[in-house]
Structure 1
């Protein structure tokens, strides 16, 4: 049994605590900044011999960072330099992974901020050269983003030219190899378009009869358009 004075003191303290908590403004969730990506050596050590699993876990971490407890962060508000650093680390851990390049070209590259979009597209372009025959889809998508969203035809053509010159595997479809031709036509560079078609026809890369016929007809149409 406690003295009555002690009980009254405890009850008073409890009442004060309740009133004080009720008068406080509600707590507001605050967004946390994406930290810089760790050094590759640090991640390799943390992988414990399984870099592919850590690569997937890292990608999930980056992908889910825009959804934090009690708050949602718009992609355009993320620090894209840091996002690029994390995507780079995911690819370093698992070079066969396609998801970081897909995310860069189709997710983060779709923001309305041209500067951020260009950063993602250039990341795809830089990493494309490491494995062109498997990474060409993401550079092709980057070329289309540059053309239709950024309205930057020279940039789109640079990406398309890289596909034509470097992605020479049998799995690369005709439309990807010929993408530069259509962009050159959009730029009204008909001489360049004719030269590109002629180069493809002479290269021996094209063996499909339907593709050869299509390119020949396209070349004839360009030649006819050039005549006065």
Structure 2
């Protein structure tokens, strides 16, 4: 049978003083945290995919979604709102890569990179996100072409980097050749070449698309034929 609880008077006085000091220190720390100015916390390093998969307890898709939600909420820290341009984008790319590895068929991580995080007003950070998208696209182009098409638009309209947009558009034409990929995706390279005033290359590419039979929709073929005719007229006018 357990004995009766010991009265407080039986507790050694030095131990009572130590307990009281610990309580006071804890209270003081809490108060200092409450009134201290809010400070942004850096984004921690992403867990390796193997570690995250093990921690998911057999639910890697749920873990992937949880990681993306964590990233979305990270900008709202207690007492402040952290701008995206203050995030470490190398670490951000690592988080997105781990989430993508856990759920490889999902478009969420790639679209977050190309639509959300690439929209930051910082060219270097935007390029880091586009590089992540391009690397991921190359491993599964038939399913990941939407984010790559968005990367072309970001490179062209936001970064005003037509050579980079051309590299991405060319990768789309060469790699995303499945029947589920819309024809306009393969046509993006021709439009970038036209924007770069490389009319001969644009004409050759459009002619090749028509002749190859890759595009079967009559409306698309008619559109490309008109575009080819317009390029020929522009070329004739530009001739000396």
Give, in angstroms, the shift of residue 200 of structure 1.
Answer: 0.6
2:160 match? 151
1:81 corresponding residue in structure 2: 90
TM-score, normalised with respect to structure 2: 0.82
Tell me whether 1:34 sits opposite 2:43 in the alignment. yes
CA distance in 1, matches of 2:132, 2:208: 29
Once residues 143 and 51 of structure 2 are traced to their aligned partners in structure 1, the CA distance between those partners, rounded to angstroms, is 28
SS in 2 for 1:178: helix
TM-score for both structures, normalised by structure 1:
0.87
Count matched residues.
Answer: 207
Quote how far apart the aligned CAs of 1:161 are: 0.8
Specify the alignment match of 2:77 in structure 1. Answer: 68
1:109 to 108, 118, 121: 118
Q: Give the match's secondary structure for 2:139.
A: coil
Are positions 1:203 and 2:201 aligned together? no
RMSD over aligned Cα atoms: 1.6
Report the Cα offset of residue 120 of structure 1.
Answer: 0.3
Of 65, 68, 85, which residue of structure 2 is paired with 1:59? 68
Query: Which of 215, 218, 222 does residue 213 from structure 1 map onto?
Result: 222
- Alignment correspondent of 1:100: 109
Distance in 1 (CA, whole Å) between partners of 2:171 and 2:99 is 23
Q: Report the Cα offset of residue 66 of structure 1.
A: 0.7
Regions of 4+ moved over 3 Å: none
Look up the SS of the partner of 1:161 in the other structure: helix
